Amino acid sequence: MNPAQEFLRRAAEKSGDLNHRNIIRKNMDHYESRVVVGKGRFANWNAARDQCAAIRDEAINNLDKYLLEFEARVKERGGKVFWAETGDDARAYITNLARQHGVKRVVKSKSMVTEEIHLTTALEQTGCEVLETDLGEYIVQMRKEPPYHIVTPAMHLTRKEVFETFREKLPGVTSDEPVELVSVARRVMREAFFSAEMGITGANFLVADTGMIAITTNEGNARLGTALPKIHVVVTGIEKVIPRLTDLGILWPTLAGAATGQSLSAYNTLIGGPRANGEVDGPEEFHVVLLDNGRSELLNDAEQREVLRCIRCGACLNNCPVYRHVGGHTYGTTYQGPIGSVLTPHLRGHDFDHLSQASSLCGACTEGCPVKIDLHHHLLRNRRNAVEETSRPWMERIGFRAWRWTMLGNGRFEFLGRLGRMVARALAGTPVDPLRKWTAFRASPKLPQKSFRQMWRDGDV
């Protein structure tokens, strides 16, 4: 089964799964109620979006300058920077580092880039134990599932399902009360934080003028993961750079507002290098792995360069009616929802062109985007690119030619329209009904007796 067929199979399965739809509805209702409050904290939410988009645009349109500035500052602070063209390069660098330092245990904070390059599997193959420390990530790691959502990886699970997973894997779990489940996870993680030799995090932003990485969490796992292990490795995309420290004054509140509706997430953390002279704690080594993996190609696309502005808040997923019905795992990609559908064909090629069709083009994603990425139009552009850059099936080519020929002739249009209505009436509900995929679960719309043209001629309108 190719990725497009697999998408359709999963989408049909998930759309009909009422339990799944209930849990997603519950999550999304909660999100919506919080985000309304979050946006209400701004006197002018749109001004915040404008400012954030302008900052990200400035960074992307001067990417080489700011990346070099960031690199120079990190080195001044005693950190190391590795530029990885591909996931293979990044994995090789990090696994080599782990091997050289005899790392046995790694604590990892939530990072979509590490998911993109399948870092955990690579580290496990070298004999390291890798523990996800974000609770949602930890839950899906135990279940051997990929993250369901870029912000809330275990959104698809009920507390009962989480309880079952915990009971199977961890001793001493007796209740599905979230407080108890969290407290068990806290105990396990504490031990890991204090014994791990390496902490791996992503980065929400790379601050060029200070050479610091900015990480946002609510749980505080990235705080512990960057304070306790001897080695801190940051794995991040090259597009995450921002020019100035003070830019975070608007980026942090806007990220929190769009992602969870908070005024700020609980821990907004800036890390620059290993422990400095005279400091009490912190790692001995600090490595930043800057991943390209197709991003620089996107920079070369005049229409779609702005996609690199994305700050991975998850708002477009939450707003998308398709995501809400088919769920995150259906996409079969690291990045799900509208941003994933726009980005994945650029990162993984034409096998993922079908994702651009997984949209009603309603524009809710664009409306919700805190950095004003014109997401639904990018989906249209991806559709166009897919047609131009790949060979299409002969049925599709003939079909569109016939459609064009019909639409360009007045008489042809009227005649074939009448014929179409007759055929549609005759075949409705039969096994050969061309609309059966739609009508199998829905009542057919009633076809009118007369076309609009006929009604116009007869003076009915």
Partner 1 sequence: MAMSEIANPGRERILQRITKSLAEIKVAPPHNIMPTGTSAFAIIPDLLERFVAECKGNLTECVLAHGDTAQKLCVLLTQIPPGEIFAEDTPEIRALLTGIDRDVRWSSDGPPRECSQATITGVHLLIAQTGSLLVSSSLGGRGASVVAPVHIAIAHERQLVTDVEAALVWAEEQKLATTNSFVGVITGCSRTGDIEKLLVIGAHGPKRLVVIVDRDCCSVL
Alpha-carbon distance 31 to 11, whole Å?
23
* Cβ-contact 335, 344 below 8 angstroms: yes
8 A C-beta contact, residue 319 and residue 365: yes
Which among 341, 394, 393, 360 is positioned nearest to 3, based on CA atoms?
341
**Chosen residue from 27, 406, 439, 454 binding partner 1 by CB under 8 A:** 27
Report the nearest approach of partner 1 to the CB of residue 353 (Å).
Answer: 22
Within residues 307-366, the interface with partner 1 by CB under 8 A covers none
User: In the window 357-376, what residues touch partner 1 (CB under 8 A)?
Assistant: 372, 374
Nearest to 58 by CA among 339, 309, 373, 256: 309
Answer yes or no whether residue 288 interacts with partner 1 by CB under 8 A.
no
- Interface of this chain with partner 1, residues 219 to 258, rule: CB under 8 A: 219-221, 223-224, 226-228, 238, 245-246, 248-250, 252-254
Scanning 183-191, 354-362, 423-431, 452-460 for contacts with partner 1 by CB under 8 A, the matching segment is: 183-191
* From candidates 1, 18, 43, 461, binder to partner 1 by CB under 8 A: 43
**CA pair distance 235, 300, nearest whole angstrom:** 23
Alpha helices in 320-393 (DSSP H): 321-326, 337-348, 364-368, 375-389
Q: The tokens of 181 are what?
A: 């489940």
Q: Which is nearer to partner 1, 272 or 417 (CB)?
A: 272
Binds partner 1 (CB under 8 A): choice among 154, 233, 322, 386: 154
Instruction: Return the number of the residue (188 or 416) whose C-beta is nearest partner 1.
Output: 188
User: Any idea which residue has 């929802």 for tokens?
Assistant: 337
Three-state secondary structure call for residue 285: strand
For partner 1, give the closer residue by CB, 247 or 353: 247
User: 392 to 451, contacts with partner 1 by CB under 8 A?
Assistant: none
C-alpha 432: how far from its chain's center?
A: 39
CB burial class (10 A; 0-12, 13-18, 19+) of residue 131? buried
Q: Does 47 bind partner 1 (CB under 8 A)?
A: yes
Question: DSSP letter at 104?
Answer: -
Tokens of 419: 């014929």
Binding residue for partner 1, selected from 13, 64, 124, 367, defined by CB under 8 A: 64
Q: Provide the 8-state DSSP code for 130.
A: E
CB 235 within 8 A of CB 119: yes
**Residues 83-142 close enough to bind partner 1 by CB under 8 A:** 83-85, 89, 93, 96-97, 100, 133-136, 139
- Least distance from partner 1 to the Cβ atom of residue 55, Å: 9
Residue 27 or 444: which CB sits closer to partner 1? Answer: 27
Q: Could you give the CA distance from residue 433 to residue 451 in angstroms, rounded to a whole number?
A: 21
Q: Does 184 bind partner 1 (CB under 8 A)?
A: no
Q: Which is nearer to partner 1, 162 or 355 (CB)?
A: 162
CB of 22 vs partner 1, minimal distance in Å: 11
Helix (H, G, I), strand (E, B) or coil at 149: coil
Residues binding partner 1: number (CB under 8 A): 111
Q: Closest approach of Cβ 69 to partner 1, in Å?
A: 13
Site string for partner 1, 66-85 (x = CB under 8 A): -xx--------x--x-xxxx
- Enter the tokens of residue 415: 């005649």
CB of 253 to partner 1, least distance (A): 6
